[in-house]
Chain A
């Protein structure tokens, strides 16, 4: 039988160490909504989402109450909209009507984000994909809860440099379209390489075409719990350090698995995966950077950071894998800057640079995340940064992503405020040497030699 020590350990994690389930994300396929009439398409999308997700928020709250575990977000991911809208949308403006419909549906069912305003163009773009991508700035400026993503490369296909060039311009245009709110639109736009089909975390969530009609995916969290556990093994060897991380990740993930199973059975929707991620928030004590500092770095960004992060990421997976029947999504430590107080402090202290963050993305999920850069940064430079990050993903056969916010009207020394879970970020300097001639080349970078495995 459960003893008092175990009960108090669990409740201490919840009350004092920010243990929570970060998100229950309901994936909804919109493939059966396809229609050549735009109004009809919008109607079908709205009806399907509001019907399937009707009880999502209430079910989440019920589970929270019964088990005493906070479930921070209830969200929805849908089929990449470029695949759904192709028959009806002739122009980018047509796509914006779908964005409005999704936003309306999100408000109706009470979720705080809906992801999947996306295009998968890792090899090339269809006209429909291009229209969707070109509609992103307006769609993000006119809606509140839409999240958008574009997959521009993969290990199997190489990198679509035409899409990379276009996405640099789109990131810039989105920043300008939402300049009044510190270019907040860019916080809801992710450029991916090797994007997973079942990621429950925003802003990059969408429901891939290989998925069922509806599916429940859950993202766990718990940086604070890992940090507290590591405080007890200060000065100990790597073996003990790794064992502690694994055991803690196991416990955290088991809670996610429990919640996923409950949500799935209560809603009558199949369970997909648990995403084993250490997802920080701006709250004190909920930081991945603090874990790295607890491991022994004076500040995150110091020499040793990449090694410490590689170890942390690997141990989280090793501990989590056995705790869940199906693991998927991004599964790793997130290193967003604006959403992690320790990262923000490290940037302010001059310890963490864009280049070091890029190195860190080689060994963890996901990429250059929530980084505010000067608003004057050229679109081609943004494309260059995207291309670098995509290359890391392509060659290392992992997911990488870029979520940069060129904050219009602000420069190094200023701070951008995004609010809520998105946090705030000091503007980081960007290498100002140009890469236009490289970015302006047409076509794609071929797939790497080690992708030919057949």
Chain B
């Protein structure tokens, strides 16, 4: 399994999760875990996703998610899980 972390940060609005999840589904990306909070109107979501079935280049997904974020008006980042694993786990 190849895991990635998708983070979404920005002003809350209708349909953020829907749009992100639609994109993920269209690209065969399976969601393993979601945590989400809203603090003072700011939307903060983290997803752990499995990109094993991905057909396209991983960097293209990063770019497209970033672009999708711009369309919604939030900041979306997609990063390989290892950077967090390395930093926070022995």
Contacts and interface: CB of A to CB of B under 8 A. Distances in A.
B30 interface: no
Given A2-B48, A4-B35, A62-B59, A257 B77 contact: no
Interface of B: 5, 7, 33, 35, 37, 44, 46, 48, 58-59, 62-63, 77-88
A2 B79 contact: no
A69 interface: yes
A384 to B, nearest CB: 45
Contacts of A2: 5, 48, 81, 84-85, 88
Contacts of A11: 7, 77
A67 B35 contact: no
Contacts of B58: 66
In the A-B complex, the 3 residue pairs with the closest CB atoms: A68-B79, A6-B88, A67-B83
B51 to A, nearest CB: 11
Contacts of A3: 35
A258 B86 contact: yes
B35 A65 contact: no
Given A1-B33, A2-B5, A2-B48, A65 B62 contact: yes
A220 to B, nearest CB: 12
A68 B35 contact: no
Contact of A254 (B44, B59, B87): B87
B63 to A, nearest CB: 8
6 contacts: A6-B84, A8-B44, A62-B59, A65-B59, A66-B59, A67-B80
Interface in A1-32: 1-4, 6-11
A10 B7 CA distance: 12
Contact of A66 (B7, B33, B79, B84): B79
Given A4-B35, A62-B59, A68 B86 contact: no
A255 B48 CA distance: 20
A107 interface: no
Interface of A: 1-4, 6-11, 62, 65-69, 251, 254-255, 257-258
Most buried by A among B48, B81, B82: B82
A346 B44 CA distance: 40
Nearest to B35: A4
B62 to A, nearest CB: 5
A144 to B, nearest CB: 30
Nearest to B89: A2
Most buried by A among B7, B81, B83: B83
A319 to B, nearest CB: 12
B26 to A, nearest CB: 20
B42 to A, nearest CB: 12
Contacts of A258: 82-83, 86
Contacts of A251: 87-88
Given A1-B48, A66-B79, A67-B80, 19 more contacts: A1-B33, A2-B5, A4-B37, A4-B46, A6-B88, A7-B46, A8-B44, A9-B88, A10-B87, A11-B7, A11-B77, A65-B59, A66-B58, A68-B62, A68-B77, A68-B78, A68-B79, A255-B87, A258-B83
B59 A69 contact: no
B48 A67 contact: no
Contacts of A66: 58-59, 62, 79-80
Contacts of A6: 84, 87-88
B88 A10 contact: yes
Nearest to B5: A7
A69 B83 contact: yes
Contacts of A254: 86-87
B83 A10 contact: yes
Contacts of B37: 4
Contacts of A67: 79-80, 82-83
A10 B44 CA distance: 15
A255 B46 contact: no
Contacts of B86: 254-255, 257-258
Nearest to B36: A4
B71 to A, nearest CB: 20
A148 B77 CA distance: 40
A34 to B, nearest CB: 40
A67 B82 CA distance: 8
A434 B29 CA distance: 71
Nearest to B77: A68
Most buried by A among B35, B62, B63, B80: B80
Most buried by A among B33, B46, B77, B85: B46
